[in-house]
Structure 1
Amino acid sequence: MANFSEDIQCAGSDTRPPMLDRTDFASWQQRIRLYCQGKENGVNILKSIDEGPYQMRTVRETVAESTKGAPQFGPERSRVYSDLTPEEKDRYNADIQATNILLQGLPKYIYTLINHYTDAKEFRTMSRCS
């Protein structure tokens, strides 16, 4: 009888049909969309898949108001998770779920490329901050 780690290895991407094969793409797309609809926050997960990840953008906070009532803004800064509204937080969390759902069915070599891209992007971001 196989142990748990062997079961996980057997259920890996090598034993699944390739999701990116053009002949099977429509059926995989339908399966993934149905799976996402059944998840909590499914509408936002599908929106993330269709429209791409949520963009944080920048924000300028109101520092003060002038004597005439016009707002005076501070410098632009990148938004962080705590700046988001509850609806935006749901969308941001759905992006993470959508990414995880899509990565579950990818072949191992595609998954490795995505990890490499993400690691390189984080490295560039960290080196700019240093």
Structure 2
Amino acid sequence: MTTLAYKSILSGADNRPPMLEKDMYDSWKSIMELYMLNRQNERMILKFVERGPLIWPSIVENGVTRPKKYSELSATEALC
């Protein structure tokens, strides 16, 4: 029987996340959360996974829909 540590070494877990295996989902999930928290934009990555992709707000001007500029975002929109 192989261990999780052995599988992590084989998959190169020090520079990329481990592969998902059906029988090891719970431990894989924990490892993935830790992996995401240790990346450069940790909270942003977890929010993306939990909530889905960011849909940039848009406005309609003169019958044309365009994305809002960052300066036009409300405080709440800027935090998301």
TM-score (norm 2): 0.53
CA separation in 2, counterparts of 1:32 and 1:89?
27
Question: What residue is the counterpart of 1:75 in the other structure?
Answer: 63
Unaligned 5+ residue runs, structure 2?
1-10, 13-17
Q: Greater helix percent: which structure?
A: 1
Q: Kindly tell me the number of residue pairs found equivalent between the two proteins.
A: 64
Change (3 A) 1:36 1:89: farther
Distance 1:28 1:47, change over 3 A: same
User: Could you say what secondary structure the match of 1:60 adopts?
Assistant: strand
Unaligned ranges ≥5, structure 1: 1-10, 62-73, 92-130
Taking structure 1 as reference, are residues 38 and 18 closer, same or farther at Cα in structure 2, changes over 3 Å only?
closer
* Structure 2 residue aligned with 1:40: 40
Q: Which of the pair has more CA radius of gyration?
A: 1
**1:84 pairs with 2:35:** no
Q: Equivalents in 2 of 1:37, 1:44: separation in Å?
A: 9
Runs of 4+ in 1 over 2 A off after TM superposition: 87-91
After TM superposition, give the deviation of residue 57 of structure 1 in Å: 4.1
- Identity across the alignment (%): 23
Paired with 1:90 and 1:35, the residues of 2 have a C-alpha distance of 23
RMSD between aligned residues: 3.5
Q: Partners of 1:39 and 1:24 in 2: how far apart? A: 22
Relative contact order, higher structure (CA 8 A, sep 6+): 1
